[in-house]
Amino acid sequence: MQVVDERVQILNAERRRQLALVNVDLVALDDLFAEDLVHVHSTGLVHNKTQLLQHIARKRGFIAIEREHMDIRIEGNIAVMTGAITNHMHGAGENSEIVMRGFVTQVLRRYADAWRFTNFQLTVIAESLASGKTPATGQMPEEKEAK
């Protein structure tokens, strides 16, 4: 039962992270992010916790965040969560939206009071940027062509 409870706690932390990003709730994000956070954006830009909070406050970019099935592996006080993500973000123009699909690796550390995010890495699925669609098979384009 403990592993199930830990998975629920980790998924709840992810749900709170998503909600806090959409609502630009910097207090909630400050609590969810570990002091030694390393956040790697889809562009390769790397932020620590302070830089990321400032970035979120300035950009206010998220409209919605969707997650599909997430794989969670727990080893002691460390959890690794991987899975697909779709970010709906404000575009440059009025009422414009950017939809970006990717694959995320997140690392959380268990503290006495909660699980906190220590690492985040987003890799964009290239086809999502070009066409707005994501391959349903999860295959690379060259793998599809080989069939």
**Rounded to whole angstroms, how far apart are CA atoms 29 and 12?**
13
Closest to 104 measured CA to CA, from 119, 86, 118, 84: 84
Distance between CA atoms of residues 97 and 123, nearest Å: 19
The pTM for the full model equals 0.83
Which token pair is 28? Answer: 């909630």
Tell me the β-bridge partners of 98. 89
Q: For position 94, what pLDDT does the model report?
A: 78
3-state SS, residue 26: helix
- The Cα–Cα gap between 21 and 88 comes to 11
- Summarised one tens digit per residue, pLDDT across range 89-133 is 998 877 889 999 999 999 999 999 999 999 999 999 976 555 444
Going from the N-terminus, what domains does the chain have, and what CATH number goes with each?
2-132 (3.10.450.50)
pLDDT in tens, 54-75: 999 999 899 999 999 899 999 9
Helix (H, G, I), strand (E, B) or coil at 132: coil
